Amino acid sequence: MYKLLRQIARCGIRTEPPPLPDASLYQLAGRLNDDVLALLGRGLAIRHVDAGSCNGCELEIHGVNNPYYNLEGLGIKFVASPRHADLLLVTGPVSRNMEQALRRTYDATPAPKLVVAIGDCGCDGGIFGEGYASCGRVANVIPVDVAVPGCPPTPAAIIQGILTAVSTGAKA
Amino acid sequence: MTPEIDGIELVRLPGAVPAWRASVDANAWLAACAAVARGGGRLGALWASDERDRGSGFTLRALLVAYEGLICLELPLPPQAPEYPDLAPVFPCAARMQRAAYDLLGVRAAAPDGRTTDTRGWLRHGAWQPDAFPLRRDVPLATRLPAGDARYAFVTVEGDGVHEIPVGPVHAGTIEPGHFRFSIVGERVLRLEQRLGYKHKGVEKRFESMTLADGARLAGRVSGDSTVAYAWAYAMALEGMAGARPSRRALWLRALLLERERIANHLGDLGYLGNDGGLAFGLAQFSRLKEDLLRANARAFGHRYLMDRVVPGGVACDVDAACAQQLIAEGERLEDELRTLRAIYYDHAGLQDRCITCGRLTPRTAARLGVVGLAARASGHAIDARAYPGHAPYDELPPSVASHRNGDVAARIVVRFEEAFESLRLQRLMLQRLPEGALSTGVTQPAAGAFGIGWIEGWRGEVLVALEAGAGGTVRRCHPHDPSWQNWPALEYAVIGNIVPDFPLINKSFNLSYAGQDL
């Protein structure tokens, strides 16, 4: 126990300040108004759905909760069920074998059902594109509020996309 | 030394790994596989291709891993009703590969003596109909095939108090999609059946629309966490068929990238294994160390996960003396941190209690299932493609292969720690003695029909890329094979008799790729 506590004390706090929202990432106009945001603050529940990625984006989504980015420190946490979620974080492309599961997840999510598409493949199908087994970008299957490009996007870019989705959409 | 199989003439394949090929008939196919299995060999991969445009039928290929090296067996099949003898009785891990080959190309495994063969769809689900075979060459790339029936006949377990827990495809954590069907009594698992294929997005079809040069980028995205291993395997296959020889410097840099990929993934897994064992401290610590490594990757090589840094002919990055010194210093600090954390993990009674004897894969079962990579090494099989058959530059930098006999979660943790230390040792050697040479050498366009194999020990296990050139520098056929194909069935065995709440820990201790096997 001593070693463990010593290690924690030695490391200190590594968390860095989060990025600001970026209105250029919007796919749909910001759907939240100031009243809603005042009520929610930044408390937000996220459900991640991998709809067919190469798993590179998942590595960076894991990264947003490491001590440097510490997304939970902003009151934003990942939840186990879409029924508990305000926002879906979807990586793609959407495979045809995941199309129905993604639609059902979206249907199970209560309003406002914010959707953030992650990565080049989520944004436009990426290198996999559309084909017999791929529906391409996430917006081909469910409505997308914010799309974050990158292969994979960095944790900071993912956090920026999430914060953009919970801003009102006014240009910063 | 050429391997000897009665009645078969093996032809050496050019390239960096010792590999041979032979075309055989159905009887010789089975006999050769059985002979290799008796000699302690394994099945590395199985896939098919459509050759009807060349006036023949289909070709089924099996990559066998024998003592001397790799043997690629080719079995020509007729264009109508292509059938071949089921390999699953010889190599149980062939079953899912054969089901996938049927879903994509319509080549069917038939059991010889009245035994039954599993003919359920594997990759198909409901995205296309039973009579459609999307990897046939007469199906265009951008086709939306009519939907089929997505129902699936799981094996049911009956008895007093037996019930099922269906999990997925959308899981509770940030992980890839797949379905797990648990049959349980109380909290104890009687049987787990996996259904994968949810991520199937037509990677092999996509390859066939690309040039050999562009294919490297797609290869690096078959399984993002193993991007260096796949990109290197692809480059190795292409360089082999084109007769290109990257410089020593380029090969050493590739090995440097591969070892850094191994360290990064082991750090991530060690963190999550602590977390799933109830020690959140471990996740915080290891994810901090992993982030430090990724940032160093971005600084030194231009990409956090090193995507597109291995290119056909060489590498797309370099290390100068100052950068090498910095990486060495960071590596030494990481070693110190790892020693501290290893002592904490090994001393922590709660974590040890969760991990020791949990999710045990016995050496015997691992051998029978043809398990590879890290999971095999934790179950008593010290196989490692870097050491054997081996290839440059690992002949100059021989790795010490970590292994353990217990086959439980704790053993897979120990092997990860040992491998991280070993990769750090190799990294130090490489950075201290990096030879001079060109970063990239030209790769001439191989002739249509040229065939090459790449075989790389990624952090999870052996990654294969089998590549065939088409006319004008295009990809005719590319089959990437992930070690997860062999290791997923082992997870079904490892959980038997364990309690359901230990499944996440056991699953994480294997940490298999969905994207890599679903393609």
Per-residue pLDDT of chain B (519 residues; tens, 9 = 90+): 788 887 888 999 999 999 999 999 988 999 999 999 998 899 999 999 999 999 999 999 999 999 889 999 999 999 998 999 999 999 999 999 999 999 999 999 998 776 778 889 999 998 898 889 999 999 988 888 888 888 899 999 999 999 999 998 998 888 999 999 999 999 999 999 999 999 999 999 999 999 999 999 999 999 999 999 999 999 999 999 999 999 999 999 999 999 999 999 999 999 999 999 999 999 999 999 999 999 999 999 999 999 999 999 999 999 999 999 999 999 999 999 999 999 999 999 999 999 999 999 999 999 999 999 999 999 999 999 999 888 999 999 999 999 999 999 999 999 999 999 999 999 999 999 999 999 999 999 999 999 999 999 999 999 999 999 999 999 999 999 999 999 999 999 999 999 999 999 999 999 999 999 999
Q: Indicate yes or no: CB of B224 within 8 angstroms of CB of A67.
A: no
Using a pLDDT cut of 90, give the percent of chain B over it: 89
Task: For residue A95, give the nearest of B466, B107, B176, B96 by alpha carbon.
Answer: B176
Task: Answer with the residue of higher pLDDT: B180 or A169.
Answer: B180
pLDDT above 70: residue A38: no
Which of A3, A61, A62 has its CB closest to that of B343? Answer: A3
> In Å, how far is A67's CA from the nearest CA of chain B?
6
Equal CATH topology for B11-110 and B203-518: no
Chain A residues in contact with B227 by the CB 8 A cut-off are 56
List the alpha helices (DSSP H) in B119-247: 203-207, 212-219, 227-242
> In Å, how far is B100's CA from the nearest CA of chain A?
14
> DSSP label at B299?
H
Which of A51, A67, A98 has its CB closest to that of B287? Answer: A67
pLDDT at A36: 64
pLDDT at A171: 38
B/e letters for B125-146, b = 16+ CB within 10 Å, e = fewer, are bbbbeeebbbbbbebeeebebe
Chain A residues in contact with B217 by the CB 8 A cut-off are 127
> In Å, how far is B275's CA from the nearest CA of chain A?
13
Domain span at residue A109 reads 19-165
Which of A3, A52, A59 has its CB closest to that of B305? Answer: A59
Chain B residues in contact with A108 by the CB 8 A cut-off are none
What is the CATH classification number for the domain harbouring A73? 3.40.50.12280
- Token pair in block for residue B326: 């910095």
Q: Indicate yes or no: CB of B202 within 8 angstroms of CB of A154.
A: no
Which of B123, B134, B291 has its CB closest to that of A66? Answer: B291
Q: How many helices (H) and strands (E) does chain B have?
A: 15, 15
Task: For residue B204, give the nearest of B447, B479, B423 by alpha carbon.
Answer: B479
Q: Indicate yes or no: CB of A55 within 8 angstroms of CB of B224.
A: yes
Which of A62, A67, A95 has its CB closest to that of B268? Answer: A62
Q: How many domains does chain A have?
A: 1
pLDDT at A170: 43
pLDDT at A89: 96
pLDDT at B81: 87
**Cα angle B513-B516-B519, degrees, rounded to a multiple of 5:** 140
> In Å, how far is B490's CA from the nearest CA of chain A?
21
pLDDT at A117: 97
ipTM exceeds 0.90, yes or no:
yes
Most B CBs within 10 A among A66, A72, A76, A142, hence the mutation to make, goes to: A66
- Token pair in block for residue B486: 């062999």
The set of residues, in sequence order, having a beta carbon less than 8 Å from that of A117 and lying 6+ positions away, is A27, A90, A91, A92, A123, A137, A138, A139, A144, A146, A147, A148
What number is the average pLDDT over the span A100-126?
95
pLDDT at A32: 65
Task: Answer with the residue of higher pLDDT: A137 or A165.
Answer: A137
Q: Indicate yes or no: CB of B176 within 8 angstroms of CB of A53.
A: yes
Q: Indicate yes or no: CB of A53 within 8 angstroms of CB of B177.
A: no
**pLDDT per position as a tens digit, A46-65:** 999 999 999 999 999 999 99
Q: Indicate yes or no: CB of A59 within 8 angstroms of CB of B225.
A: yes
| Bond preceding residue A152 cis, omega within 30 of 0 | yes
pLDDT above 80: residue A33: no
> In Å, how far is B307's CA from the nearest CA of chain A?
9
> In Å, how far is B434's CA from the nearest CA of chain A?
29
Chain A residues in contact with B281 by the CB 8 A cut-off are 4, 7-8
The helix (H) or strand (E) run that includes residue B154 is none
pLDDT at B119: 86
3-state secondary structure B22-80: EECCHHHHHHHHHHHHHCCCEEEEEEEEECHHHCCCEEEEEEEECCCCEEEEEEEECCC
Which of A56, A59, A132 has its CB closest to that of B144? Answer: A132
How many Å apart are CA B226 and CA A2, to the nearest integer? 37
pLDDT at A40: 65
Residue B27: half-sphere exposure toward Cβ, Cα within 13 Å: 2
The amino acid occupying position B438 is A
Residue A12 lies in a domain: no
Q: Indicate yes or no: CB of B176 within 8 angstroms of CB of A58.
A: yes
C-alpha A111, offset from chain centre: 16
Q: What are the start-end ranges of the E strands in B426-471?
A: 451-457, 462-469
How many Å apart are CA B451 and CA B70, to the nearest integer? 14
Chain A residues in contact with B174 by the CB 8 A cut-off are 48, 50, 58, 61-62, 78
* Domain boundary assignment for chain B: 11-110, 203-518
> DSSP label at B390?
I
> In Å, how far is B196's CA from the nearest CA of chain A?
10
Chain A residues in contact with B206 by the CB 8 A cut-off are 127-129, 131
CA nearest to A98 within chain B? B198
Burial of A20 (0-12, 13-18, 19+ CB in 10 A): exposed
Q: Indicate yes or no: CB of A132 within 8 angstroms of CB of B145.
A: yes
Residue A50 lies in a domain: yes
Most B CBs within 10 A among A54, A88, A127, hence the mutation to make, goes to: A54
A26 phi/psi in degrees, rounded to 5: -65, 135
Contact B469, B476 (CB under 8 A): yes
What is the CATH code for B11-110? 3.30.460.80
pTM of structure: 0.95
pLDDT at B517: 95
Task: Answer with the residue of higher pLDDT: A33 or A70.
Answer: A70
Q: Indicate yes or no: CB of B127 within 8 angstroms of CB of A96.
A: yes
C-alpha B340, offset from chain centre: 31
CA nearest to B348 within chain A? A1
CATH match for B203-518 among 3.40.50.1980, 3.30.450.40, 3.40.190.10, 1.10.645.10: 1.10.645.10
3-state secondary structure B320-356: CHHHHHHHHHHHHHHHHHHHHHHHHHHHCHHHHHHHC
Chain A residues in contact with B173 by the CB 8 A cut-off are 48, 78, 80
How many Å apart are CA B84 and CA A83, to the nearest integer? 48
Residue A139 lies in a domain: yes
Q: Indicate yes or no: CB of A67 within 8 angstroms of CB of B222.
A: no
B/e letters for B409-432, b = 16+ CB within 10 Å, e = fewer, are bbbbbbbbbbbbbbbbbbbbebbe
